[in-house]
Amino acid sequence: MSFSNLFRKKSVDAILKQVKKNEADGHGALGKHLTTRDLTAFGIAAIVGAGIFSTIGKASSDGGPAVIFLFLFTALACGFAAFAYAEFASMVPVSGSAYTYSYVAFGELIAWIIGWALIMEYAIGNITVAISWSDYFTGLLASGGIHLPQWIQMDYLTASNGYAEATALMQGGKSFENLSAALQAAHEAWTTSPVIGSFHFVADLPALLIIIIITWLVYRGMKESRNASNLMVVVKLAIILLVIAVGVFYVDTENWNPFAPNGINGVLKGVSAVFFAYIGFDAISTTAEECKNPQRDLPRGMMWAIVICTILYIVIALVLTGMVNYKELNVGDPLAFVFEKLDLKWLSGIIAVSAVVAMASVLLVFQMGQPRIWMSMSRDGLLPKRFSKVHPKYKTPSYATIVTGFVVAIPALFLNLTMVTDLCSIGTLFAFVLVCAGVLVLQDKKDIPRGKFKTPYINAKYIAPVLVIAGLVFAFTVNKKATMDFITNVPQVNEPSAIVTALTKEEATGVYNQLLQGDKAHIAKETQDLEHILSNYKEEDAGKYAEMVAGLPIKDSVKYESGLALFQHKIPMWIFFIVLIGLTVWAYRKNLSLIPLLGLVCCLYMMAELSVWNWIYFTIWLLIGLAIYFGYSQKNSKLNFNKIEPTLND
C-alpha cells in the first residue's frame, strides 16, 4: 500500500457527474423537496432543543448573566464555521457534509476520520437529546399524576454513579432529604431496580420509545420529515416567544448584579453546554441532494438559523438570570423551574409540553443526518454497499436509517448524559476545525469549480499575528496571576464535593470535629452536613476557604490537585497554543483568509476547554475507526478500482 494512496482525493467534477448520473437514471437518487425556508426551519429545529430547555441552566449558574457573552462567542465560532460549510455546500452540493468536503480538500484517510467523528455528532448527539427528552416527558407525566418507576426512566451510569455519590455524601453527614433531587432519584433507581446476580437492571425506556418513533418517521420520507419539523418549529418558537413576553415582566435587574460573578473562568466553564446548544446547523448540509436549489439555499438556511437562534438564546438567558438568582439555575429544566418558582405553574406546564416537542424535532434532524453521511461513505466504497441503498418508494437511505436507529437506541438505555454531551461536542468541533481548514487549503486552487457562494476574503497575514500578540499582552497583564498559575502548574484547592466524597467515614468525622472546634457556635447551629459547611466557607471567602482546607487533618492529595494530575487537564490547552503558533505562521506565509481561520481557531479553542478525558475517549474512538479503515475501507474504496474519475493532485 502506497502512503500517497491514503490521501488520494476526489475531484469536484467527478462528484457532480456521479450525482447527475444518479438523478438521470433514478438509481440512488433522493427526492428533492427542500427550500430556504425548510432548511432554516431544520436549522432551528436542530439548534433550539436541549440547549435552550436544559443545558442553558447549568451554563447560567456557572457564568451568571455574563453567559450571554459565551453565547455570542459560540455563535461567532459557529458563524465562521458556517461560512466554510456554506462555501463547500455550494461547491459540492451532495449529502456527505464535512466527510465529502474533507475528501476533496485532504484526501481519503482524513475524510474517513471525519466521517467516523461525525458519528459522535449525529448518533451520540441524538443519544443525549433522547435522554433529555425522556427527562422532560417523564416529568410531564408526573405532573399529570403518572409516576413511572425510577429504574425505567434513568440510564444505568447515572443511577450507578449517583448512588455512589449519594452514599459518600450521606457518610459525610448529609441526610437523604438534603441530597439534590437528582441524587435522590439515582439512589432510588439503584435500590429499587430488579437485580440479576449482581447486575442492576436500570434502563431509560422512554428514550428508546422516542427513538423508535423518530426513526420510523425519517424512514418514511423527507417530505413527511419536513412537514413534521416545520410544525414542531412553529410550536416551540411560539412557546419561547410567550416565555419571553411573560418573563420580561418578572425581571429584577438586581439579579444581574454582579453580571459576571465567577469571572471569565466561570463564563468559559459552560463552553461544552453552550456549544451543544448550537450543534445541528451543519446537519442542514447533509440534505444537499434533497434541496431544490442547494447552491443558493444551503448557505442562506445555515446563516438564518444561527442568527435567529443566537438572538433567542441571548434574550432567554437575560430573562432567566433576571427572574431568579443565577445560583438557582443549575437544574435540568430551567425554564419550567423559574416559572414554577414564581407560582406560574400554568406556564410551567406549557413549557414542559413544548420541551417535549422541541427535543423531538432535534432528534428528527439528527436522525436524518447520520444515515446520509453513511450513505455517502458507502457510495465511495468505505462502508458496505447496503448503507447506500435508497428505498424505491420513500426515496430515503433506508438501511442506513434503520442501523442509525439501533446505534442510537441501545446506548441511550444505559449511557450517562454528561459523558455523551461532551463526546458529541468534541466530535462536532473536530469536524468544524477540518471544514474550516479545508477552505484554507483550497483557497488558492484555480482548477476547482466554485459554487455561487464564496466566503468573503480578508487577508489574515498581519491581522492574525496582531491578535495573537494582543492576547499575550492581555494574558500577562490583566490576567497575569491566572496565566502564571497555569504555566507554573500551581496546585489548586479541590471543590468541597470532591473533598467530601474522597473521605473515609473516620476522616469525615475528624474534619467535622476540627471545624467544630474552630467555629463551634456557627457550625453547631448550621448543620452536620460537611459538604454544606465547606461550600459555605468557599462562597463567603475563597481565600479563607483555601487556608481552612490547608489545615485539615487529611492527605494533601485529597485537599489539592497538583503535579501530573493537574497538568493532564491542561494538555488540550497546550495543544491549542502550539497549533495557534503554527496557524499564525501559516497565515503570514500564505495570506490565509481571515474568516475560516477564525473559525478554525475558535472551534479548536472550544475543544481545548473540554476535559482531557474527552480527548482520550475521542482518540480511542478514532483508533477504532482507523482499525476499520485499514481492515475494510481502504481495500474496498472505489478509488482503489478507478471507478471514480482520477483525483486532483496538489
CA distance 120 to 599: 20
Q: Using an 8 Å Cβ cutoff, are 453 and 288 in contact? A: no
Is residue 292 pLDDT above 50, yes or no? Answer: yes
Q: What is the pLDDT of residue 275?
A: 74
CA distance 52 to 132: 12
H/E stretch holding 468 reads helix 463-476
DSSP notation for 549-606: HHTSSS-HHHHEE-HHHHHGGGHHHHHHHHHHHHHHHHHHHHT-BHHHHHHHHHHHHH
Q: What is the pLDDT of residue 295?
A: 75
Q: Using an 8 Å Cβ cutoff, are 226 and 38 in contact? A: yes
**pLDDT, average across residues 558-584:** 88
What's the sign of the alpha-carbon dihedral 294, 604, 424, 260?
negative
Q: Which residues contact 395 (CB under 8 A, 6 or more apart)?
A: 29, 30, 31, 221, 222
Q: What is the pLDDT of residue 312?
A: 86
Q: Using an 8 Å Cβ cutoff, are 298 and 86 in contact? A: yes
Q: What is the pLDDT of residue 181?
A: 73
293, exposed or middle or buried, with CB in 10 Å at 0-12, 13-18, 19+?
A: middle
Q: What is the pLDDT of residue 79?
A: 85
Is residue 9 pLDDT above 70, yes or no? Answer: yes
Is residue 332 pLDDT above 80, yes or no? Answer: no
Q: Which listed CATH number (3.40.50.1100, 3.40.50.1110, 2.40.50.60, 1.20.1740.10) goes with 3-145+207-439?
A: 1.20.1740.10
CA distance 553 to 508: 10
What are the tens digits of pLDDT across the range 234-255?
Answer: 887 888 888 888 888 888 888 8
Which cell numbers in the block locate residue 33? 423537496
Percent of the chain with pLDDT over 70: 88
CA distance 405 to 426: 22
Which 8-state DSSP code applies to residue 648?
P
Q: Give the 3-state secondary structure of residue 490.
A: coil
Cβ neighbour number for residue 276 with a 10 Å cutoff: 26
CA distance 357 to 350: 11
**pLDDT, average across residues 344-371:** 79
**pLDDT, average across residues 582-589:** 93
DSSP-derived pairing of the beta strands 195-196 and 560-561: unpaired
Q: What is the pLDDT of residue 520?
A: 54
Q: What is the pLDDT of residue 522?
A: 52
What are the tens digits of pLDDT across the range 139-169?
Answer: 788 777 788 888 888 877 788 888 888 888 7
Is residue 644 pLDDT above 50, yes or no? Answer: no
Looking at per-residue pLDDT, the higher value among 439 and 269 belongs to 439
Beta bridge partners of 492: 561
Beta bridge partners of 493: 560
Which cell numbers in the block locate residue 176? 437523604
Q: Using an 8 Å Cβ cutoff, are 225 and 217 in contact? A: yes
Q: What is the pLDDT of residue 649?
A: 39
Confidence band, pLDDT 50/70/90 cuts, at residue 573? very high
Confidence band, pLDDT 50/70/90 cuts, at residue 648? very low
Q: What is the pLDDT of residue 469?
A: 94
Confidence band, pLDDT 50/70/90 cuts, at residue 465? very high
Q: Assign residue 107 a region: left if phi > 0, alpha if psi is -120 to 50, beta otherwise? A: left
Is residue 498 pLDDT above 50, yes or no? Answer: yes
Residue 383 has phi, psi (to 5 degrees) of: -130, 160
Looking at per-residue pLDDT, the higher value among 543 and 628 belongs to 628
Q: What is the pLDDT of residue 95?
A: 67
Is residue 26 pLDDT above 60, yes or no? Answer: no
Question: CA distances (Å), 35 to each of 38, 180, 493, in order?
Answer: 5, 47, 54
**pLDDT, average across residues 321-330:** 82
**pLDDT, average across residues 39-62:** 76
Residue 110 has phi, psi (to 5 degrees) of: -65, -35
- 331-369 CB burial, b ≥16 within 10 A, e <16: bbbbbbbbbbeeebeebbbbbbbbbbbbbbbbbbbbbbb
Q: Which of 276-280, 322-326, 371-375, 624-628 has the highest mean pLDDT?
A: 624-628
Q: What is the pLDDT of residue 482?
A: 82
Q: What is the pLDDT of residue 579?
A: 94
pLDDT mean across residues, the chain: 80
**pLDDT, average across residues 17-22:** 67
Confidence band, pLDDT 50/70/90 cuts, at residue 583? very high
Is residue 476 pLDDT above 80, yes or no? Answer: yes
Q: What is the pLDDT of residue 420?
A: 67
Confidence band, pLDDT 50/70/90 cuts, at residue 188? confident
Q: What is the pLDDT of residue 464?
A: 92
Q: Which of 131-135, 261-265, 319-323, 335-339 has the highest mean pLDDT?
A: 319-323
Q: Where are the domains of the chain?
A: 3-145+207-439, 156-202, 494-561
**pLDDT, average across residues 303-325:** 86
CA 421 remoteness from chain centre: 5
Residue written as cell 482520550?
A: 616
> How much of the chain is helix, strand and coil, in % rounded to 5?
75, 0, 20
65-68: long-range contacts, CB 8 A cutoff, minimum separation 24:
65/255, 65/256, 65/259, 65/260, 65/317, 65/318, 65/321, 65/322, 65/326, 66/259, 66/260, 66/266, 66/267, 67/267, 67/270, 67/274, 67/317, 67/321, 68/314, 68/317, 68/318
**pLDDT, average across residues 499-515:** 79
Confidence band, pLDDT 50/70/90 cuts, at residue 642? low
CA distance 350 to 643: 55
Is residue 11 pLDDT above 70, yes or no? Answer: yes
What are the tens digits of pLDDT across the range 54-102?
Answer: 667 777 888 888 888 888 888 888 888 888 888 877 777 776 677 887 8
Q: What is the pLDDT of residue 646?
A: 42
CA distance 430 to 614: 12
**pLDDT, average across residues 597-604:** 90
